Structure 1
Amino acid sequence: MRRLSKLSETWQAPTRLGARIPMISLIQTLTVAEYLNFRHAANALGISASSVSERVKTLEDDLGILLFERHARGVRLTEAGRHFIDGVADALDRLDHTVKTAGAFAQGELGCIRIGVYALTPGSFLDDLLARYRKDHRCVTIEISEGTAREIIPQLRANKLDIAFVAGAQDLPDCHTRRIWHEALLAALPADHPLAESDGVTWNDLTDEAFLVRHGGTGPQVYELIIQRLAGRWASAPSILRCDVERCSLMQMIAQGFGVSVVGQAAALIEVPGVVFRPFRDEPEPVPFSAVWSPYNQSTTLRNLLDLAGKMGRSPACAWPPSSG
């Protein structure tokens, strides 16, 4: 037990001593080791040679180690001194790297952001937003999860996501929300549909149609919207088929004449053979799309994304829907 106690004291002593060594002493000692001359080192540091000499001597006394052999024209590192200088230089390099890395995390230039989305359509506002963010923050890892609002909001609350982009103006008392952009609603119709050649449609035009709605993405919101808009207009029970398919499969079903659907304007950016998109003439306003995040999330990567989204949403150059002119 005495031997173990003695070994423990031996290993702990350098730690206690290291905690008492001023950083300035290490920096001045490294400078002397670089120039091998107290006067030249002092000139590089902008202080007096006597101050440098005194600080190095105090460090040697505290360590109980002779770091430099003094001679008339300068100094020379002892073997112990070379070992000490190499170790201190490595330690300061690691410290410098640690400080810079911590600063990059604090500025949001390093790290990871986890994003929940309803869909990611090429050329859409959300696609452009993420492309701009990646360009501006190349060292931030972006993780994307796709799902309905009912799926991704619980993940946000469980701290499995940093931010979610959802359709509609969400009212969530335990989360922050912000409207970012808007999209007009479009009817997705088979190319041979009687309304395919029209400039637009009304909800009354579609009362006899069979609607196709996805389970995923914005499907639940689309289902609720159809029920709201056509309530009291159907002569019989509404025909809404909820499909457990991806977007491309739903579009193919429309092309084959299984029914029609309702989509946001971003969906029309992808040309689908056999499908046409027509605007609603009686839809009161475009659909808002919102960012949702936890009020407890103070991540700079999140703040940078929100700032960029806000700028893009307000900028005429980045307005959505994009101008056709």
Structure 2
Amino acid sequence: MVTVSRFFAVFVAFLISCGVFASAQAADQGPVKVLTSIKPLQLIAAAVQDGVGTPDVLLPPGASPHHYALRPSDVRRLGDADLFYWIGPQMENFLERPLQGRSKPTVAVATVPGLKLRHFVADSGSHEDADEHDHDHQPGSLDEHLWLSTVNARVIAASMAADLSKADPANAARYQANAKAFATRLDAVDAKLKAQVAPIAGKPFFVFHEAFDYFEDAYGLKHAGVFTVAAEVQPGAQHVAAMRAQLQAVGKTCVFSEPPMRPRLAETLTAGLPVKLAELDALGGFNEATANGYEQLLSELGDDLVGCLNSL
């Protein structure tokens, strides 16, 4: 009887030690490795992962999500990441082939259910709204700058929290709480921005690249003209002449480009006109991946827009 009891005690101790060992192994694995294609997705992921881990981003500041050339180290990071988020092939088309060989979870954010998406209307440069089930548009017609809507940012954060909770159940409550806190902070950002831009809502401004429509729609703004719908497409001479005529008719105004490069066309378009050239950074390339990084991106857009128009 003593022998049986002693054996049972040893067996229980063995099981406990195995459990401790397994827990130690899990702890040694560290936080879930999250990698995003572009900075705005990293900023949203940072809010969700706050206090547990820090997400990484593939593209360096200033790199174009349309024309990036992956380095061998980038390919390794793609393979190592536990979760990878990108907008989708309509934006980061250079990722389509590399991602075919990836075995771990990959999320094309543009396909996340619940997003409020915008699509370009053929030949007009304008948009029409659609929900996530609308597939009636031609390929390439999606306005992929979807992160500039706080409605979409909330949906993306909730989706990331669900993914992280599945990958790391021990921290599920933290991820869910972070996503909820993020949504609450966005309510405050929305209210601040609406009040901030209200005085300049009627002032005309122009953009080189049609990248800000989600932001404009959210806060009651509308650009007066755009020089090209797609960043990689150069406008023709006839369009350039028409845009210069528009600038002349408007008078004092701001023309916004995106960093890091100001289009060479800028000087030609604005020469001799009372036009101020400024920048709006839709990608937030130099924002730090902190819990509040996404809110800072939006706040900086509001500050830069209002700052230029108020200086005229």
Pair in the same fold by TM > 0.5: no
Higher RCO (C-alpha under 8 Å, 6+ residues apart)? 1
Give the structure with the larger strand fraction. Answer: 1
Per the normalisation by structure 2, the TM-score is 0.30
